[in-house]
């Protein structure tokens, strides 16, 4: 009886195996080969975009353009308000006096630039270490004890343009848990962390580090060659971004492509066998919009 049951299950198992090795095209309007035998005969390996299989270049391009239009239309994520103003937090901790905070705020408003933490340092009221510790408390994150990255792979995973825009630095990657530890020098951007998780298929853990140390490390990285990383922009034409993306995807023989929006960038990550190529499209935005999103008035 058990053998008979197994025999009856064969078609289902065969169909499951067939689905695994010959996935359906993810494009609803796909006009690719429908007949089984034509499919077997004409089957090609296809490309995955965001984990979805597309059988032909035309199907992939259609899906790619739809994804790009959706991502480009996303409004930049406004950074959430801080949990407690930095100055107040430092007064509570006894690191600053109320008068020093008032003086730093006045200097910031007069100059109409700089973060309040910078002004605490400039005016000699606090050290960078104290400001960094306060940022850690403000964002509920640990403070990185060292910026000496012990894993170069994560550094290569995120395009430098994004790292510089968000003043962040990948520190350490734990393969066992697929966790990437990222240090922020100014403020923790959780929306960016979420996008990075989707594209790199990993978890992220934020921490904070000294602003000057992060900036210096990024500047050092800028001096080093970054092969397989190409930046375009500023751009606003979605069709143009799609054309460039498709050109790279097909020319490199891409197996898997993932894309997402991080700040004012569209990041496209292409896997070709065991190597990765990163395309970074800097989106054109109104200067006023950049000011509001990246540098909101800080307490
Ligand atoms: Zn198709």
d(CA 295, CA 299): 12
Distance CA 105, CA 90 (A): 14
Q: Is residue 156 part of a domain?
A: no
Are the CB atoms for 121 and 128 separated by under 8 Å?
yes
Residue 253 alpha carbon to ligand 1 centre in Å:
17
Which of 52, 73, 94 is the endpoint of a domain?
73
Distance from the CA of 29 to the center of ligand 1, in angstroms?
8
Based on the domain organization, do 31 and 54 belong to the same domain?
Answer: yes
68 plus 94 within the same structural domain: no
Which residues is 265 bridged to in the sheet?
A: 262, 282
**Ligand 1 mean position, distance from CA 69 (Å):** 20
Residue 109, domain member (yes or no): yes
The DSSP annotation for 186-202 comes to S---HHHHHHHHHHHTS
250 C-alpha to ligand 1 centroid (Å): 15
pLDDT at site 73:
79
Domain that holds residue 53: 2-73
Q: Is residue 132 part of a domain?
A: yes
Which regions in the chain score pLDDT beneath 70?
1-11, 13-22, 32-45, 75-82, 149-156, 286-299
Q: Give a yes or no: residue 228 inside a domain.
A: no
Per-residue model confidence as pLDDT tens digits over 256-285: 999 999 988 999 999 998 889 999 999 887
Distances 33 to 11, 14, 60, 117, 178 between C-alpha atoms, Å: 22, 20, 15, 61, 38
- In the reported structure, the alpha carbon of residue 246 is separated from the centroid of ligand 1 by a whole-number distance in angstroms of 15
The pLDDT assigned to 82 comes to: 53
Kindly give the distance from the C-alpha atom of residue 101 to the centroid of ligand 1, in angstroms, as a whole number: 61
Domain-embedded: residue 261: no
Is there a single domain that holds both residue 63 and residue 102?
no
Question: Is 65 within the bounds of a domain?
Answer: yes
Q: How many domains does the chain have?
A: 2
Ligand 1 centroid distance, CA of 211 (Å): 48
> Is residue 260 in some structural domain?
no
> Considering the entire predicted model, what is its pTM?
0.79
Same domain? For 135 and 102 the reply is yes
Q: Are residues 68 and 7 in the same domain?
A: yes
Model confidence pLDDT, tens digit, residues 67-105:
999 888 776 655 555 578 889 989 988 999 999 999 999
Say how many Å lie between the CA of residue 63 and the centre of ligand 1.
10
């Amino acid at each position: 009886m058990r053998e008979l049951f197994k025999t009856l299950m064969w078609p289902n198992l065969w169909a499951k195996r067939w689905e695994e090795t010959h996935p359906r095209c993810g494009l609803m309007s796909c006009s690719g080969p429908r007949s089984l035998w034509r499919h077997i005969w004409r089957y090609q390996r296809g490309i995955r975009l965001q984990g979805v299989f597309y059988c032909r270049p035309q199907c992939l391009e259609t899906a790619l353009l739809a994804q790009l239009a959706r991502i480009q239309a996303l409004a930049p994520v406004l950074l959430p308000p801080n949990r407690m103003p930095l100055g107040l937090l430092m007064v509570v901790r006894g690191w600053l006096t109320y008068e020093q905070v008032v003086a730093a705020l006045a200097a910031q408003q007069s100059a109409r630039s700089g973060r309040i933490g910078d002004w605490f340092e400039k005016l000699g009221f606090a050290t960078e270490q104290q400001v960094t510790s306060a940022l850690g408390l403000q964002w509920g994150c640990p403070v990185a004890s060292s910026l000496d990255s012990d894993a170069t792979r994560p550094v290569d995973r995120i395009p430098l343009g994004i790292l510089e825009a968000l003043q962040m630095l990948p520190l350490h990657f734990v393969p066992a848990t697929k966790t990437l530890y990222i240090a922020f020098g100014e403020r923790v951007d959780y929306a960016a962390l979420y996008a990075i998780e989707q594209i790199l298929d990993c978890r992220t853990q934020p921490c904070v580090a000294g602003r000057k140390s992060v900036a210096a490390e990024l500047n050092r990285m800028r001096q080093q060659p970054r092969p397989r990383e190409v930046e375009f922009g500023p751009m606003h034409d979605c069709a143009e971004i799609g054309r460039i993306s498709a050109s790279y995807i097909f020319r490199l023989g891409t197996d898997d492509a993932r894309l997402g929006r991080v700040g004012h960038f569209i990041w496209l990550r292409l896997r070709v066998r065991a190597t990765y190529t990163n395309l970074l499209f800097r989106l054109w935005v109104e200067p006023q919009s950049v000011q509001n999103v990246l540098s909101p008035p800080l307490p």
